[in-house]
Amino acid sequence: MSRNPRLSLLAMGLLLSLGASETRAQAARQRMEISTHYTTLRLSVTDSTQAGLGTRLGYNINDYLAVEGEGSYFPKYSLGNDSLDDKTQGLIGVRAGGRTRWAGAFGKLRAGVVNFYGLKIHEGLCLFNPETSICRAGPRSGSRFAMDAGAVVEFYPVRRVILRADVGDTMIRFKDDSLLDDRGTRIRAADGISHNFQFTLAAGFRF
């Protein structure tokens, strides 16, 4: 037994304090995440799959809850796409679940927009609708409200590296729109919610 118990207790307290400080420092250093991804969006209205690339930025509030935002770009004649216009997607929301040292499983709920460039109407132009023979003039945005709900699985092969897979339902609110499919056929997107399967693979870093 130590002849100076007070000194032993002081040394033990100092070691515990240093250990806790190191743990907090590691957690703080790894709250931020950045990744790049490849994603596919199955548009049920046109019965076509669009492929895109994007970036995600996340902030881990703790091991169970995070906020994140991501943007994706779907080019019209690249990545195997045959669509007649470009599309972009922006989402922001929360991810909640749990993780171990090597893996994590989460649910996600994010809101944002999908922008269909072919739906945008500029001031002074009009859009001819072959079904109703109506020429609708005036400015109109190509952005449509979207909600993404689904699941996320992450793997951590080393402490700072993230490998991630997302699956989900991207719900898009169309406004009685007229879309062109991959064959150039005009498809009616009725006013209401469209459900579309989306799959994403990503790789990134925590810091």
Are 106 and 83 found together in one domain? yes
The pLDDT of 153-178, averaged and rounded, is 95
Same domain flag for 58 and 39: yes
Average of pLDDT values for 118-143? Answer: 62
In the predicted structure, residue 27 carries a pLDDT above the cut 50:
no
Rounded to a whole number, what is the distance in angstroms from the first to the last CA of the chain? 44
Q: Is the same domain home to 187 and 136?
A: yes
- Measured CA to CA, the distance from residue 193 to residue 147 in angstroms comes to 10
- Do residues 36 and 5 both lie within one domain? no
110 with 179, same domain: the answer is: yes
H-type alpha helices, the chain:
5-29
> In total, how many domains does the chain have?
2
Q: What 3-state class would DSSP assign to 123?
A: coil
Q: How confident is the model at residue 25 (pLDDT cuts 50, 70, 90)?
A: very low
- State the residue range of the domain holding 12: 1-30
Mark whether 41 and 18 lie in a shared domain.
no
Q: Are residues 82 and 53 in the same domain?
A: yes
Do 21 and 52 have their domain in common? no
Closest CA to 62 of 102, 99, 103, 91: 99
Share above pLDDT 70 across residues of the chain, in percent, rounded to a whole number: 77
User: Could you tell me whether strands 126-129 and 87-99 are parallel, antiparallel, or unpaired per DSSP bridges?
Assistant: unpaired
On whether both 178 and 201 belong to a single domain, the answer is: yes
More confident residue, 88 or 17: 88
Are both 6 and 80 inside the same structural domain? no
Asked whether residue 95 falls in the same domain as residue 12, the answer is no
